[in-house]
Amino acid sequence: MFFYLKQVMLALKCRKGKEEAGEDSLSAWREMLAAEGIQVLRADSCSKADRQTGPEHLGEKLAAEGIQVLRADNCLEADRQTMPGALREQTAEEKTMQGTIGEQNAEEKAMQGTIGEQTAAEKTMQGTIGEQTAAERSVSEHLGELDDPKNATLWITDDPDLARRMDAEGKAVLGYLPGDREKTDFTGIRYLAMNLTELDGDYLDKVYRRYHGIPWDILETEHCLLRETTEEDVDAFYGIYAQPSVTAYMEDLFSDRDRELAYTRDYIKNIYELYGFGVWTVLLRETGEVIGRAGLSYREGFEDPELGFLIAVPWQGRGLATEVCRAILTFGKEELEFTKVIAFVMPENAVSCHLLQKLGFQEKEEVRLLGKRHLLWEYKG
């Protein structure tokens, strides 16, 4: 499976004893994503107490395993002196993120004044540091580098303000809501997670794609690929629907291309984003050519999802519709947990009726849709 997402940046407010996953679980999660080609980096804002009990030990462990860990703690020299030797020396990445810290950099002094032994991150957690947290400054400093497509990045943060800022800037962001912080207000953030270690590469890549308007790849069969429809597919659809035998049994596209494009945009936003499934575009794997449409959707007045399918005339008679529909039914059962699927076919459409029988559908009753007679078929996989 191809992932657009290349790296995940964790920007968390670490709190002693309240991390949802232990070191072993988080390390295993990093290793799982690394095996899928996704690197996990850190840009945390942690207090001194948190660093003494958690992240630095994890940093040493992961470094020994060859996994890179970036830090943006914005800590003072006194704090660094209490940290393990392996973390006292700044890496090139830390210097890039922090500048030359010394005991306090100019930015810390401007924001804090004289704070004695408190770290900037501790001030952040107490709400007296100013507008930007250390994690937010880390975000700003990394944006140029991470905008590069080869560094396609998803930010994961438990800071609602940072999440909303990233969202406003068009960056892919996933809100992290551990169990002890269920009342945290992530209003406006499209995706939330409560357990980091349950998030696999496929899910994280889908979140990244949704933010950047990249269609989801749904499934592959021996000869076909199904993915979400894009505006670029519309011209191919007009070519497919131009055949009289196609529109004889199904509703045509809008005669006005601009209206069809507007409909497609609305479908992507209101169906794909809301349900996570719908009617998808069918492509020939060998050439990438658009050859039809198929998928699952809800019809007003019916509780069960409906199977719809269309293969363009030049590719009909090759078993592709059966291949695609069988894969969709399996996907619906295993991934979407559908226990029943329905389909509507006009009685005179003998070819489609025969296909439904081959797939295991049973004819149930006759109904009227859009003023025309249809047979209601039912599938229980």
pLDDT computed for residue 184 by the predictor: 83
Q: Based on the domain organization, do 131 and 109 belong to the same domain?
A: yes
For the chain, state the CA radius of gyration. Answer: 26
Is 49 a member of any domain?
Answer: yes
Contact between residue 342 and residue 307 where contact means Cβ atoms under 8 Å apart: yes
Q: Based on the domain organization, do 193 and 225 belong to the same domain?
A: no
Q: Based on the domain organization, do 192 and 265 belong to the same domain?
A: no
In the structure, what pLDDT confidence band is assigned to residue 168 with cuts at 50, 70 and 90?
Answer: very high
Query: Across residues 285-297, what is the average pLDDT?
Result: 97
Percent of the chain with pLDDT over 90: 59
Instruction: Provide the domain count of the chain.
Output: 2
β-pair type (290-297, 279-284): antiparallel
pLDDT computed for residue 60 by the predictor: 52
Is 167 a member of any domain?
Answer: yes
Residue that terminates a domain, selected from 176, 211, 246: 211
The answer to pTM > 0.75 is no
Residue 206 has pLDDT above 70, yes or no: yes
CA dihedral 98, 99, 102, 107 (to 10 degrees): -80
Residue that terminates a domain, selected from 168, 190, 211: 211
Q: Based on the domain organization, do 25 and 90 belong to the same domain?
A: yes
Q: Please report how the helices 23-35 and 55-64 are oriented relative to each other, as an axis angle in degrees rounded to 10.
A: 40
Closest among 29, 33, 115, 22 to 74, alpha carbons compared: 115
* DSSP secondary structure string for all residues of 239-305: HHHTSHHHHTSSPPPPSSHHHHHHHHHHHIIIIIHHHS--EEEEEETTT--EEEEEEEE--TT-SS-
Residue 305 has pLDDT above 50, yes or no: yes
What mean pLDDT, rounded, does the chain reach? 78
Domain CATH code at residue 336:
3.40.630.30
Q: Where are the alpha helices (DSSP H) in the chain?
A: 23-35, 48-53, 55-64, 77-81, 85-88, 92-98, 106-112, 120-125, 134-146, 160-168, 201-211, 234-241, 244-247, 257-267, 273-275, 320-334, 350-359
Q: What's the distance, CA 268 to chain centroid?
A: 14
Is 2 a member of any domain?
Answer: no
In the structure, what pLDDT confidence band is assigned to residue 381 with cuts at 50, 70 and 90?
Answer: confident
Residue 152: DSSP 8-state: -
Long-range CB contacts for residues 240-243, cutoff 8 Å, separation at least 24: 240/290, 240/291, 240/292, 240/293, 240/310, 240/312, 240/313, 243/312, 243/313
Q: Based on the domain organization, do 204 and 56 belong to the same domain?
A: yes
Of 43 and 34, which is predicted with more confidence?
A: 34
* DSSP secondary structure string for all residues of 192-231: EES-GGG--HHHHHHHHHHHTTPPPEEEE-SSEEEE---G
Residue 55 has pLDDT above 90, yes or no: no
Residue 174 has pLDDT above 80, yes or no: yes
Residue 140 has pLDDT above 80, yes or no: no
pLDDT computed for residue 150 by the predictor: 57
Q: Based on the domain organization, do 207 and 150 belong to the same domain?
A: yes
Helix (H, G, I), strand (E, B) or coil at 137: helix
Q: Based on the domain organization, do 200 and 283 belong to the same domain?
A: no
Q: Based on the domain organization, do 145 and 223 belong to the same domain?
A: no
Q: How far is CA 287 from CA 29, 51, 223, 283, 291, in A?
A: 36, 53, 10, 8, 10
Is 185 a member of any domain?
Answer: yes
Closest among 275, 306, 119, 117 to 210, alpha carbons compared: 275
- What's the longest Cα–Cα distance across the chain? 84
Helix (H, G, I), strand (E, B) or coil at 181: helix
Residue that terminates a domain, selected from 191, 211, 231: 211
Q: Based on the domain organization, do 240 and 160 belong to the same domain?
A: no
Residue 73 has pLDDT above 60, yes or no: no
Q: Based on the domain organization, do 95 and 174 belong to the same domain?
A: yes
Of 265 and 146, which is predicted with more confidence?
A: 265
Residue 272 has pLDDT above 90, yes or no: yes
Is 44 a member of any domain?
Answer: yes
Tokens of 312: 């363009």
Per residue in 334-377, pLDDT (tens digit) is: 999 999 999 999 999 999 999 999 999 999 999 999 899 999 99
Q: Based on the domain organization, do 70 and 162 belong to the same domain?
A: yes
Q: Based on the domain organization, do 360 and 244 belong to the same domain?
A: yes
Is 1 a member of any domain?
Answer: no
pLDDT computed for residue 271 by the predictor: 96
Per residue in 86-130, pLDDT (tens digit) is: 333 444 444 443 443 344 444 444 434 433 344 443 443 344 334
**Domain range for 142:** 7-211
Domain CATH code at residue 190:
3.40.50.1000
